Amino acid sequence: MRFELTDEQRAFGDALESLLSSADTAGVARSWADGDHGPGLKLWDRLAEQGVTMLATEASPVEVCIAFEALGRHAVPGPWVESAAYLPVALGREVEGVATVAAPPHAPYALDADVADAVYLAGPDGLSEAEVGERHASVDRTRHLFSVVEVRGAPVVEVRGAPAPSLETTNAFDLAALATAAQLLGLGERVLADTVTYAKQRRQFGREIGSYQAIKHQLADVRIALDFARPLVHGAALDPTPRAVSAAKVMCADAAYLASRTGLQVHGAIGYTAEFDLSIWITKIRALVTAWGTPAFHRARILESLVEA
């Protein structure tokens, strides 16, 4: 089967790309990392006006993946998976403003709880309001992680699509994992594009380093990995079964991580510096590889589904 986006879906993706390309998202990410949320919240409002926060309830997972791939490609900071993927499905409605959630064990901390209008804690029985606790460090400086505790006496909202008392059986969890996979795909594509550009410009021993066969092979391996991951994202978006979602998450994590390692090798020492924009994408990839389910968890879920079948 050959999957093709509709004209409307392509137009939506193009609109997001145009908005984000002119938004200086690297500068927004650096400000967010330093605790200045103003530029990021302004961008949040612009993306909400484009309909990103209502996709989980008003559109299909395909549109969700289109949006999150763009968010990853431009390294947009903020609790987007929580506000625009997990919570809308769990609550059954679009989230107003910025919201976040901790969903142990796969998302044990609430992302950017310091800037959220609403903070939730997810459990087998549903969602409950939560209070913000201790902050935890992340390899990605734009990800501000916080422990949360349930507010006593707060009403519990049933999490939709939970046939068993297990968080990973919910539709909300699957959409969050799929959105994270789409982000990783976008991040990997951006790192590859920037690395190819650098390889064409950087000269060593009188020629562009991209002309050397060893570097060509490395970049080709990344291209192949990303091209193999994309159909799994599209397949899971069309039929978001747990097996399909986990396969997409595993492949996108592996492909994006390969892109980040190759990007570092090709860029050399400058790729390791925090001042170089590449670091924003690389550290986000490293953080998202284990977000909303580690590779080991998702591989085990795939194996379990195959054994049961």
Is residue 108's pLDDT more than 60? yes
Distance separating alpha carbons of residues 162 and 86, to the nearest angstrom: 13
CATH topology assigned to domain 167-308:
Butyryl-CoA Dehydrogenase, subunit A; domain 3 (1.20.140)
Amino acid at 187: L
- Closest listed residue to residue 181, CA positions, set 94, 72, 263, 96: 72
Confidence of residue 295 (pLDDT cuts 50, 70, 90): very high
231 exposure class (CB count in 10 Å sphere: 0-12, 13-18, 19+)? middle
Q: What pLDDT is recorded for position 196?
A: 93
Residues 6 or more apart whose Cβ sits within 8 Å of residue 249: 177, 178, 180, 181, 184, 292, 293, 295, 298
Q: Is 129 left (phi over 0), alpha (psi -120 to 50) or beta?
A: beta
Confidence of residue 206 (pLDDT cuts 50, 70, 90): low
Amino acid at 228: F
Confidence of residue 273 (pLDDT cuts 50, 70, 90): confident
Confidence of residue 78 (pLDDT cuts 50, 70, 90): very high
Q: What pLDDT is recorded for position 165?
A: 43
pLDDT digits (tens, 9 = 90+) for 54-73: 999 999 999 999 999 999 99
> Which tokens hold the place of 180?
């994270």
- Give the distance, in angstroms, between the CA of residue 130 and the centroid of all CA atoms in the same chain: 23
Mean pLDDT of the chain: 91
Q: What pLDDT is recorded for position 158?
A: 60
Confidence of residue 169 (pLDDT cuts 50, 70, 90): low
Residues of the chain above pLDDT 70, percent: 90
Confidence of residue 167 (pLDDT cuts 50, 70, 90): low
Is residue 160's pLDDT more than 60? no
- Closest listed residue to residue 295, CA positions, set 184, 164, 154: 184
pTM of the model: 0.93
Q: What is the mean pLDDT of residues 243-267?
A: 96
